[in-house]
Structure 1
Amino acid sequence: MHPLCDSVNGNATSGADSVDHADSREDHAVTNSPSEELTEYSVTALLTPPGPPEEPADFDEFWRGTFEAYGAGRVGWEATRDLDATETHQVRQIRFDSSAGEPAVAFLMVPRLEAAIRRGLVIGHGYGGRTAPDLDQVPADTAAIFPAAPGTLPNTGSRFPALPDEHVLAGIAHRDTYSHRFAAADVWRAATVLLDAAPAAAAALDFSGGSFGGGIGAMALPWDARFRRASLDVPSFGHHAIRLTRRCTGSGEAVRQHVQEHPEAREVLGYFDAAVAARRIRVPVHVAAAVLDPAVDPRGQFAVFHALTGPKRLTVRANGHLDGQIAEVSERMARQHAADFFALPDDRLA
């Protein structure tokens, strides 16, 4: 299997959609074989929308109720440690009250000059977890918070296990107890903490998340009207009917095997499908989706993009969840495209 090259061709589609191609080659056959982890899908096939995933009749009711229970009102928080400041930002580790009923950890970056704040940014993380903020993701005019999803920070005493293969199954017996419900709810709570620490960030509050964080972000965004825009990089949990058919190297494999042994869990997953949630997102969204990804099925990533009904832009990545030079270029491009998307004037998204 030959990896895609790292050339860039910017191509705009009609209406509000825009596509940035990390590669334009379309000569690789599509295969749905569950034994081929490194299947490389053609861009043509991936740009063809799949049939929409089935969704629970009370999907909206469930998530609105979750937001009312965990996303509204004040959130208690306190600074626990000052970290090395940058030229533009004060940086602190904080503790806040998680929706899971336990302390959660986050990293807070606030510009030294309050008058400099023009934007706010909530930044999710992948299933590798988070132990520090990513300083390069925060522009000088932006206040940002990097929350760690419940259980993903080792040695925090959470009721959710930190290991991805265990975390992704924690509480999966019921929609009310599933770990992903609380991970999404803590996106809302982290936003509340950020706006408490830097009220001026409410002028333009954005979300950015990749992999696990991208899928969780898609679940969280429809219900919180405070967000202005979002960027989802190689988003996970898209279109379970597709992703459960293919063996992978990530936490999705633990889910696939679990559902084979416990088919009743499939009903619960219907409430935590990023492609179903994406249908409800109304703010402009940038998606970076890979044609080759051993951990997150590319068809599921593109399904999230296709499900969006508002203004949207797409970056086609050469690959995701891989190491090497092409992976580094692909990652760097996706981040730059996301930053450009957040900086666009509103009239460029109409």
Structure 2
Amino acid sequence: MTADLRDYRGSYEAPADFDAFWRDTLDAAADHPLDLNLTRVDTALRTIDVFDVSFRGFGGHPVRAWLRVPRHRDGPLPAVVQFHGYSSGRGHPLDDLLWPSAGYAHLLMDTRGQGGAWAGGNTPDPVGAGPSYPGFMTRGIDDRQTYFYRRVFTDAVRAVEAVRAVDLVDPARVGVVGASQGGGIALAVAGLAPDLRAVHLQAPLLCDIRQAVRTSTDGPYLEISGYLGTHREAAATVFGTLAYFDGIAFAQRATAPAWFSTGLLDQVCPSSTAFAAYNAYAGPKELRAWEFNGHEAGGSLDLEIALDAFRRSV
């Protein structure tokens, strides 16, 4: 199976105006000042400082994040921007201490409108949308301009700009990471933000989307098939919108060294979709396929690989 997947590229083709769409989207975001604010958070941690962060994302809307940095530091730090999994938020100030413990400035971005599941969030999405299936995958899906992930991907690019504007950070040494939805967001950023040093993508969502909708049996893609089950004439419109948000297109435009992982038993983000993004990726790349794992992929072993890779690259 893995041998066949090594050559799998899917059938996705980017729209002719893909680059123009994203250029216009990011140019519109740049019209709003970043308005970066950091407020120190009092914690009982002895080796890590935590800051409550806000910056302006899509439409000038405020986006929240945590910035965690090693307390004992000498000069500007390399930085890692992390994007979290589907429906969760930035969580508690004491969560996610891996990257600052390893010596990085670590920015964990809220995903707007999410944070009602296993980790809380603090960033609303003030943009309305038309009819959608419960969840986030179909919000605004009848038009690329209104689709939910247009706002999220823009927020994420602005998060990289935000961390580069922090005095504690070396702006030339920034990488991005994420698992599941976070991996899909990180891959989009890799294709949109310049001069990243490294990318880690664990079981990424939003790759080879049409194939994923056909083959996944659990998780967010079922929202799209559920929506199309009642909006039977909308398939062309839906997949026309999603073509502007597919990780394969961003992979084709990304050049930073990247480490992918996937579980061959993944029913949420089928492993074929991770291979399709990996095979399209334009920069240096490695992929670890875990034969007997599902959506968790390699779990902590993936993080161990990422720490070693980022140590050499960022």
State the TM-score bracket (shorter-chain normalisation): 0.7 to 0.9
> How much does 1:102 deviate?
2.9
Which residue of the partner structure matches residue 232 of structure 1? Answer: 201
The correspondence of residues 154-165 of structure 1 with structure 2, limited to 5 A, is 154=116, 156-159=123-126, 165=134
Which residue of the partner structure matches residue 84 of structure 2? Answer: 125
> How much does 1:234 deviate?
0.4
**CA 337–109 in structure 1, closer or farther in 2 if over 3 Å, else same:** same
Partners of 2:10 and 2:208 within 8 A in 1: no
**CA 114–81 in structure 1, closer or farther in 2 if over 3 Å, else same:** closer
Equivalent position SS for 1:244: helix
Q: Which amino acid aligns with 1:207?
A: V
In the alignment, does 2:214 pair up with 1:245?
Answer: yes
CA deviation vs aligned residue, 1:281-329 (integer Å, no higher than 9, x gap) = 011111011211121121111111111121001111242336xxxx7xx
Unaligned runs of 5+ in 1: 1-41
Structure 1: distance between partners of 2:263 and 2:30: 31
Unaligned runs of 5+ in 2: 117-121
Which residue of the partner structure matches residue 338 of structure 1? Answer: 306
Match of 2:295 among 297, 310, 321: 321
**CA 153–276 in structure 1, closer or farther in 2 if over 3 Å, else same:** same
Structure 1: distance between partners of 2:168 and 2:39: 20
Equivalent position SS for 1:197: coil
Structure 1: distance between partners of 2:10 and 2:267: 23
Identity of aligned residues (%): 27
Partners of 1:165 and 1:251 within 8 A in 2: no
The Cα RMSD (Å) is: 2.5
CA deviation vs aligned residue, 1:23-71 (integer Å, no higher than 9, x gap) = xxxxxxxxxxxxxxxxxxx222222223441221111111122222225
Q: Which amino acid aligns with 1:287?
A: F
Q: Which fold has the larger relative contact order, with Cα–Cα distance below 8 Å and residues 6 or more apart in sequence? A: 1
The correspondence of residues 127-276 of structure 1 with structure 2, limited to 5 A, is 127-130=86-89, 131-132=91-92, 133-154=95-116, 156-159=123-126, 165-260=134-229, 261=231, 262-263=234-235, 264-276=237-249
Which 4+ runs in 1 deviate beyond 6 A? Answer: none
Which residue of the partner structure matches residue 277 of structure 2? Answer: 304
Match of 1:77 among 20, 29, 36: 36
- TM-score, normalising length from structure 2? 0.86
Structure 2: distance between partners of 1:71 and 1:128: 27
Partners of 1:71 and 1:185 within 8 A in 2: no
**CA 165–218 in structure 1, closer or farther in 2 if over 3 Å, else same:** farther
Q: Which amino acid aligns with 1:76?
A: D
Partners of 2:82 and 2:109 within 8 A in 1: yes
Which residue of the partner structure matches residue 31 of structure 1? Answer: none
Equivalent position SS for 1:167: coil
- How many aligned positions are there? 298
Structure 1: distance between partners of 2:124 and 2:153: 19
